[in-house]
Structure 1
Amino acid sequence: MRAMLLLSILLLPLCALAQEPASTADATAEIAEPGTRIESPSRSALYEQALERKLPTQEQRKLDFNGESQLGLYMPAARPEGLGGVLLIAGPGEHADWPNLIAPLRRQLSDAGWNTLSIGLPDSPPLPDSALNDTPTDNTDPQDGAVEQGLQAADNQPDQAPPAEDAAADYATRCTQLIQAAWKVLSAEGNEYITVIARDASGYWALRAASPPVSGQPPQALILFQPREPELADQPTFQLLLEQWDKPLLELINSGSAQGEIQAREHQRIAQRAGHDQYKQWDTDYLQDSMLAEDMLQKRIEGWLERLVETQAAGSTASAKAAMTP
């Protein structure tokens, strides 16, 4: 009898364990059907969630374009009357407060008297299902940790493949309309002169959005930091867009690489052939080994913008005097 009682006591936990997996399996089945894939948040969505918690609400602007909405970061000039507006466009896969070039410039230029607005590019078309199934993802929810963890989660999202031919035109439209929506925000803040500063492949999209016949009101100047042409089928080339641009353009190229040296010579020839006397090119290779590289670059960009404003002001004065002359 005692042996039977002892055997019953030992078997009770085993019975409980045998029943638990069944209930857990039922609960899992209710969450997701077999063969379905739970979509993880996009990189830009994770970035936006993190930035909305990190930065003051007064800096945040919602840009509506092509039936979508995206976060932009605005900083007013630290003076009663701003010198103009500067739109900063982060590179592909980067956010509106990207630590390289974008975040430092948006703050420094604001301190120097410019109204700044920074944005990232729209998400590119999603990968095919087969590619997504083979690609590891990070499902970390930034709500579960600090803002830095949210940004890290977005960084860990896999890069998306170049758009297919049938999606390239739609992506070009989205990029163009987002940039134009950003111009409208800066214009609504009273900025008569707008300059665009773009990193990497965003330089192509800035030039594309500013070139006729797409743009209704292009910016007055462009600054392209190490521009790169995206992999798109049946779209205008960077070289063609550069030939069509006839306003001030400052291109920052690193000739330290073979590709950078080729690009520098090619773009210089295009500008000379087209007679673009307002095209300038700076080589940033000498900054690579400097501890003050970022600060030096920011100061040079700020100085170029100030000279641009002086030139524009002088031109407006001369035009006004000419109009008044009988």
Structure 2
Amino acid sequence: MLRAFFPPLAALCLALLPATFPLQAEEKSTEPTKEPAPAVERAPLEERSQDDAISLERQLPGREQQQLKAADESFLALWQPANAGEPSGVLILLPGEGESADWPEVIGPLRRQLPNAGWSTLSLTLPDPSGDPVPPRPVATEAPGKAEPAVSPEKAQEEGPANTEQAGSAEPNTDPAPPALSRDAVQKAQTDRVFARIEAALAFARQQKPRSIVLLGHGTGAYWATQFLITREPQDVRNLLLVAAELPAGYEPALEDSLPALKLATGDFYYKDLPADRDAALRRLHASKRQKHPAYIQITMKGLPADRATEQEQLVRRIRGWLSLHLQAGADKGQAGE
């Protein structure tokens, strides 16, 4: 009896199998298809100079901070009024590439100590150098379980072909990439941004009705100060100070080619123990003699790498001495007070 029972049972199981598989496939087909995740746009990071400015806003007293407007952007400037009843004027400080408005060399010591000599100081934040790409902000990733439940390896293996088919069905991005700007266009945009900030600083300084306005640039800030005065020719700025002047990479003309054209009272401070600075200063001196610059004076300094505090004190004393002996007044008194 047992031998006769098994063949019919096996035949019955085989008969049920074809009906079972289509049912499972039909159930799977009713599952909703997953749409491909949209591409996430990465917001650019802030400029390094903007991050530095935010740090200064946290560290320094609010009374020293001025938010100035230049074109369509705001920037931080640090203001220190003169500790005198009748200030000598306003000194606008332009930091060099990679420096902040309170840089510990040159900019910071001058902006804090010159008010004791009767000078108000306004130190600017300049934009990052042109040509430095801003890294994209990383996309925040969510842990499994928040956006979607984690998929087990077995289920991933089962759904692999379906996911591949869905990914392949997404249309590729055919939007053309934005055209790359030429070097001249990039440099012009950078020049416009820097000049707009200097203009905003001058507007703020004029509100104080100073007796004199002096522009001082350190490093590449010396280049921007020189080019601004040559291009815009503000009548109430008749004094220019350069400290360790430097040409931004890729820019022209060289300082020795443009500086002598400025018939302003000019103090050119440089460190004689740096061969590159010494050679560049010698070229500027020769050019000023050829152009018969009426008020160009070079001041040699000695670097003190082992004693930076004394080095900065020496610089402050030299700047104070130049302002006392060589400041060109006259026209700027009438213009600045209007």
TM-score (norm 1): 0.70
DSSP 3-state at the match of 1:275: coil
Q: Does 1:259 align with 2:276?
A: yes
Question: Contact (CA 8 Å) 1:87, 1:194: kept in 2 or not?
Answer: yes
**Where does 1:89-238 land on structure 2 (aligned, <5 Å)?**
89-125=94-130, 127-128=132-133, 132=135, 164-211=183-230, 213-217=231-235, 219-233=237-251, 235-238=252-255
Instruction: Give the structure 1 partner of residue 287 of structure 2.
Output: 270
Q: Distance in 1 between the 2:207 and 2:329 partners?
A: 20
Higher helix share: 1
Deviation at 1:241, TM superposition (A): 1.8
Q: Distance in 2 between the 1:250 and 1:95 partners?
A: 22
Identity between Structure 1 and Structure 2 (%): 28
Q: 1:266 to 1:188 in 2, by over 3 A?
A: same
Q: Distance in 2 between the 1:125 and 1:289 partners?
A: 33
Instruction: Give the structure 1 partner of residue 173 of structure 2.
Output: none
Q: Does 1:300 align with 2:314?
A: no
Amino acid at match of 2:291: A
Q: Distance in 1 between the 2:43 and 2:74 partners?
A: 23
Deviation at 1:216, TM superposition (A): 3.4
Amino acid at match of 1:85: V
Q: Distance in 1 between the 2:45 and 2:117 partners?
A: 40
Unaligned runs of at least 5 residues, structure 1:
1-28, 138-162, 317-326
Decide which structure has the larger Cα Rg and report it. 2
DSSP 3-state at the match of 2:237: coil
Instruction: Give the structure 2 partner of residue 49 of structure 1.
Output: 54
Q: Give the aligned length.
A: 255
Instruction: Give the structure 2 partner of residue 280 of structure 1.
Output: 297
Amino acid at match of 1:219: V
Amino acid at match of 1:280: I
Q: Distance in 1 between the 2:247 and 2:132 partners?
A: 20
Q: 1:176 to 1:215 in 2, by over 3 A?
A: farther
Deviation at 1:236, TM superposition (A): 3.6
Question: Contact (CA 8 Å) 1:210, 1:218: kept in 2 or not?
Answer: no
Q: Distance in 1 between the 2:225 and 2:264 partners?
A: 13
Question: Contact (CA 8 Å) 1:250, 1:280: kept in 2 or not?
Answer: yes
Q: Distance in 2 between the 1:314 and 1:290 partners?
A: 40
Question: Contact (CA 8 Å) 2:95, 2:220: kept in 1 or not?
Answer: no
Q: Distance in 1 between the 2:268 and 2:88 partners?
A: 22
Q: Whose RCO is larger (CA < 8 A, sep 6+)?
A: 2
Amino acid at match of 1:274: Q
Q: Distance in 1 between the 2:46 and 2:193 partners?
A: 19
Deviation at 1:290, TM superposition (A): 5.5
DSSP 3-state at the match of 2:268: strand
DSSP 3-state at the match of 2:326: helix
Q: 1:57 to 1:286 in 2, by over 3 A?
A: closer
Deviation at 1:97, TM superposition (A): 0.9
Unaligned runs of at least 5 residues, structure 2:
1-35, 139-181, 334-338
Coordinate RMSD, CA, aligned: 2.9
Deviation at 1:34, TM superposition (A): 5.6
Q: Distance in 1 between the 2:69 and 2:316 partners?
A: 30
Q: Distance in 1 between the 2:260 and 2:326 partners?
A: 21
Q: 1:240 to 1:66 in 2, by over 3 A?
A: farther
Amino acid at match of 1:260: D
